[in-house]
Structure 1
Amino acid sequence: MEGGVTASSFHKRVAVVTGANRGIGLEVCRQLASGGATVVLTARDEKRGAAAVDALRELGLPDVLFHQLDVGEPSSAARLADFVRDRFGKLDILVNNAGVSGVRMDIGDPAALHQVRTSMSAVERLEWFNQRTTEPFEEAEKCLRTNYHGTKNVTEALLPLLLSSSDARVVNVSSSYGLLRFFSREELKHELDDIENLSAERLDELSELFLKDFKNGRLDHHGWPVGGFSAYKVSKALINAYTRVLAKKHTSMRVNCLDPGYVKTDINFHTGVLTVEEGARGAMMLAHLPKEGPTGSYFNGTEQAPFV
């Protein structure tokens, strides 16, 4: 493979950002590269990913490379790890940003979006979306496979390279929808909050249990979130828990998760209230935490917050 590990490559921070051809992911790539990091921009669509890299290079940021990545496929994550290993020999920053909503949305007349963007509060906008979504099982399954298992696939594949860094950071983009307040049964809430006894294997089991209950129409049985975006909420709660499990196991790294806020991106038809520059602030802060900074924590933007 072209390139290879050189003495100078170990003196520059190397970052990987998933789901990075647009939105928050692209902005994180721009800010990391502007700060001097070498950035591997990943996306599932090769044409869109390559175009995003070209756009950043036109801004005078040459140290951005593209590598195709489907986070839901372990073999794709393994190919990315091989690329980073052969090219750099280590990884300093991993931003897991790739994600899907877990719903199908029918917005009706596109002209209505103008009114949503200009005359509704953030709460009203979310309610507007809730009224226009359906949650078929296929979308729920894709949501867990992408948001939770995909993040875990990529992190596990790149973990040896992160551990090769003297100062690694893992940033998992989550959501306030992943907070435990959306779960109705105390037993499940306690289990997801019991980091001393929780394991990644158990989180995998909970993912499968949720999909089984979802398919059988029994979300209330174990206290899963209801009332809209159920799979998205569960996927982000599992990511929050996985963040804590990983941080507890690998204390040499700073591993954190965050809600970037309600950002204007394609996933919400640009009805958010924050710009992508504002939405990237939390991820950038966590990517540059000092060695003694927090780990295994949840952040609302740039402020540390509880998991409940």
Structure 2
Amino acid sequence: MSFKVAVVTGANKGIGFAIVRGLCKRFDGTVYLTSRDEKRGKDAVAALENEGLHPKYHQLDITNPQSLKVFHDYIKEKYDHIDILVNNAAIAFKSKATEPVAVQAEETLRVNYFSVLSTCEILFPLLRNGARVVNVSSSAGHLSNIPSKQLRQKFQDPNLTIPELSELMHQYIAAAKQGTQSKEWGNSSYAVSKVGLTALTKIHQRMLNDRDIKVNAVHPGYVDTDMSSHMGPLSIDEGAQAPLFLALDAPDSVKGEYIWFDKRIVSWTEKNQ
């Protein structure tokens, strides 16, 4: 079957919702809007249908391996492949959050790093040769947000493996539990989670190079969403532009990169953005 299939995680609102909207308008294939909460997801699909667009819906909680397996089996049976995977689902604690740093560290990395990793492990076998993976990172995912030079060197090691990267993530959680994280890791669990995601992007690109699969990370800009407490100046459709560029328009030479909301490839390791 030659149907093309695109999947967007965490897509019932915000940037994910706008990415689905953009794909529905331009992608020559079936677009799946997925969300943890089924009612919110179906309401989002209904809203897009009111615009004359026709996404499909499937429940998907990236933090639940069983939910991922159910979705994998559904796509495998119905289409046998995925052409575009947008890893958008993520969380962020607000600046005024009262949860202890240790709790914020564990939960943020559980969702933004470890759950995205398991999403990739379960869904990557469905990627067709030539597929595109877009990881929605952040300006917080820039390596310069990690104060320790030694840690930065580990993250940018061209031979870094996934087990080694996951061990770094565990080390951060352990440091947060001991209250010793700020000197080496900084004070943002969100930043650490997105640095981890961007590093994962580069490892996955190395692993998938021989199948012409493009894996890129993107900072979508500071967008007016629940996650930004509606402080961002960009609309969700503006925030979707760079992810859509990577999903649909970027040259095949753009792979394993970290791109900015204005579609520029930026150095992940050098600070002068």
TM class, shorter-length: over 0.9
Report deviation, 1:66. Answer: 1.2
Aligned to 1:48: 40
Q: Deviations over 1:56-109 (max 9, x none)?
A: 1222222x11111111122211111111111111100000001001x2x4xxxx
Distance 2:250 2:148 in 1: 37
Aligned to 1:141: 106
Report deviation, 1:133. Answer: 4.1
Q: Deviations over 1:95-146 (max 9, x none)?
A: 0001001x2x4xxxxxxxxxxxxxxxxxxxxxxxx4x344522232111011
Q: Deviations over 1:181-234 (max 9, x none)?
A: 121211110010112x2011111111111111001101146x1122xxx21011
Percent identity for Structure 1 against Structure 2: 39
Partner-residue secondary structure (3-state), 2:75: helix
Q: How many residue pairs are counted as aligned between the two chains?
A: 264
Distance 2:121 2:137 in 1: 18
Change (3 A) 1:183 1:134: farther
TM-score normalised by length of structure 2: 0.92
Q: Give the counterpart letter for 1:293 in structure 2.
A: S
Partner-residue secondary structure (3-state), 1:39: strand
Q: Give the counterpart letter for 1:244 in structure 2.
A: K
Structure of greater Rg: 1
Distance 2:161 2:130 in 1: 24
Distance 1:142 1:66 in 2: 26
Aligned to 2:199: 241
Aligned to 1:38: 30
Residue ranges of structure 2 left out of the alignment (5+ in a row)? none
Aligned to 2:177: 215
Distance 1:176 1:300 in 2: 8
Residue ranges of structure 1 left out of the alignment (5+ in a row)? 1-6, 106-129
Aligned to 2:241: 281
Aligned to 1:65: 56
Distance 2:97 2:119 in 1: 29
Structure 1 contact 254–289 (Cα < 8 Å) conserved:
no
Change (3 A) 1:291 1:282: closer
Structure 1 contact 27–277 (Cα < 8 Å) conserved:
yes
Report deviation, 1:291. Answer: 6.0
Distance 1:76 1:169 in 2: 22
Report deviation, 1:52. Answer: 0.8
Aligned to 1:98: 89
Pairwise mapping of residues 179-198 of structure 1 onto structure 2 (< 5 A)?
179-195=142-158, 197-198=159-160
Partner-residue secondary structure (3-state), 2:52: coil
1:172 corresponds to 2:135: yes
Distance 1:261 1:291 in 2: 21
1:225 corresponds to 2:225: no
Aligned to 1:79: 70
Distance 1:286 1:189 in 2: 26
Partner-residue secondary structure (3-state), 1:94: strand
